[in-house]
Every structure is written in C-alpha cells, then in structure tokens.
Structure 1
C-alpha cells in the first residue's frame, strides 16, 4: 500500500533532523573532549548548568523529553550527560523523569492521532515489523516489557505502538515502571564508564 505524501514528507523531515542531531552530537563530543570535561573536578558544562540553579535540571529534563518524542540527539548520549553532570543518582532521576514524560506523550500522541501519525517516525520496514504485534495482545505486552529491559529495541517507537493497541494507560505505566528504571540506570552507568575510559585512555 502506497504511503500518504504527508507521512513520507514528515518521515524525511525527521530523518534530516536526526542526521543534523547526530552531527551536532559528534561536534559536542569533540568539544567536550577538548574542554577537559572528563578530567579532574572542573567540569565546564556542569558548572554552567549549576549556575542556572533549578533551571539547569529543568532544561535537561526538557531535552530528554524532546529526544524521546523527536529523536534529534541519540538518547544514550543524553543519559550519559545527565549521569556525568548531575551524578549517578540525580542524573538517573532527571533522566528517568524526562524519559517517562516523553514516553507518556508518545503513548497519547499515537492514541489520539492514530497510525498515520506513528508511521512518520520510522521507516516502512520497521513500522511493518512491529505493527503486526497489534494482533497479538498478550505477546505485545511481553515485547514491550522486553524492549524496556533490553537494548536494541526502538522502545520510544513501541510506546507509540502501545498507544495504538487496546492496552490501558494504567497497564502501560505499570509495564514501564517495572521494566525501565533498573535497566536505565545499569546501561547509563555502563555507557558512562565506557565513554570515560575512551576519553581518558585512548589516544586521539
């Protein structure tokens, strides 16, 4: 079935913005490295956010919400930034709040605007691959929980797919709250450790 022009146009716009976001992420990573972000106690970006007071965490949470809904910056990068800037506990808290809000918005956007809206956020192959799970109610619940627990799944997109099912919002939140927190913390700590090792031990 041929896709609607609006779906194709919106998907292309999202892809272009995502590429720009990846480019900006690479540039930011280089700037972070050159500024000595991972060296010693003086973290320039951390000091900048701290000077913003309460607006620093609010700004970071807003960035997390946006990247869940509209993937401009890879989510793993922003999680690591939160971990490094705010510390393991506050970083996790701000990461989790932002990701939770974004996931809830994704669920309700799909529920209110339907399949045409959801199609615009992934390529046709990914959409067709996961949309078939709509006919497998109990298995989709297991798939959603697995996506929240394990890496490699498009869990932000699957939040939208959940909004297309008959799953209640309460059930969606139970699955999210049970499956997401521990794995988010573990993966973020692991990624932060890996990035820190690369910047401190590998020559550039």
Structure 2
C-alpha cells in the first residue's frame, strides 16, 4: 500500500472517528450526562469488568492510530468512570499506547511514520531530531504540556537514540499533568456549557 493511500485511509477513519465522537457527545448531552454523570455511568454499568479493559484498549489504539480525538476520549474516561478511576484508566492506556508508538517508530522507522502522519506534520517536527540532547529536552517539555502533538512526537522519538528507559520515564512523569488538564478542562467545560444552554 502506498503512503498516499494509507494516509487517505487513515484520514477517512479519523474523520469517521470524529463524527462518531461528535454524535456520542450530542447523545450524552441529550441524556443529561453533563448535569448528572450517573446517567453515563449507567450506560456502561453492565460492563463492569470489560468496560475498563475496552476503554484502556481504545486509549492504546487512539495513541498509535488517531481514530478519535484524544481530548474527547480523555474526558469520556472521567465522565464514565469518575475522576479517580477515569484518570487511572486514561493513564494506563495512554502510557501503553505511547510505549507502543515509540517501539513502532524505532522498529519500522520512517516508512511507517510516513504512513501514520502527514508530510506537513512530519516536516514541522523532523527538525527537532537534529540535536539529540535538545530533542530530549523539547520532548520532555512537550509531553508535560497539554498542547503538543504527543502521538507524533512519540513516533518520532523512535527515530532518535533516546533509550527506552529515558522515554518511559518522560512518559510516566509527564503524562499525568496532561491527562488531568485535558480531562478536567473538557469535563467541566461541558458542564459549564450545559448550565448555560
């Protein structure tokens, strides 16, 4: 499969994921989820064991292949499972997904990365790899901040000489702040909007 074809297919899947996410958000809004989080928990109440496993698997996949916006899945975790369990499941899924993305980048290199990210995005960040020490510092800062394209950077980190141990430590220490920032901004932002509308 050519790079252009795989990018087109990934864009279609990502668009479908975005549409489903928007539909699900509107559906939850109509159920009153942002006013009463017990309503959403009831939706997954019958899947007490498989619900968390399914959610963690979804988070792992969305880190490696962005089928749904990461911010939406983070907020969903908090809404569905509550602030503590939601954070834990988000954290587990995103950490595992990040480690897989790094390993894939290291194992398959640029050919795989070109299939997963656009040339424009690749060109924007590939310059970071010119200096190993600078990349490690920039990577650590980017992982800590909630605005960086973490998934892309995890793949690109696989192209560097960064050790798996260093990468893992950065992810383990940097991800909690990002997860908390995204999750609570989206959840409480949704609750605020539900009170206005």
TM over 0.5: yes
Asked if 1 retains the 8 angstrom alpha-carbon contact of 2:37 and 2:80, the reply is: no
Pairs aligned (count)? 197
Give, in whole Å, the separation in 2 of the partners of 1:151 and 1:40: 27
**Structure 2 gaps, min length 5:** none
- Comparing 165-174 with 180-189, greater Cα deviation is found at 180-189
Q: TM-score if structure 2 supplies the norm length? A: 0.94
Cα separation, partners in 2 of 1:41 and 1:6, compared to 1, 3 Å: closer
Determine which of 175, 197, 200 is the counterpart of 2:170.
175
Cα separation, partners in 2 of 1:134 and 1:108, compared to 1, 3 Å: same
**Structure 1 gaps, min length 5:** none
Which structure 2 residues correspond to residues 14-163 of structure 1 after superposition, within 5 A?
14-40=10-36, 42-43=38-39, 45-163=40-158
- Cα distance, 1:152 vs. partner? 2.5
Cα separation, partners in 2 of 1:10 and 1:35, compared to 1, 3 Å: same
Which residue of structure 2 aligns with residue 8 of structure 1?
4
- Cα distance, 1:52 vs. partner? 1.1
Q: TM-score if structure 1 supplies the norm length? A: 0.91
- Comparing 29-38 with 68-77, greater Cα deviation is found at 29-38
- Cα distance, 1:190 vs. partner? 2.1
Which residue of structure 1 aligns with residue 185 of structure 2?
190
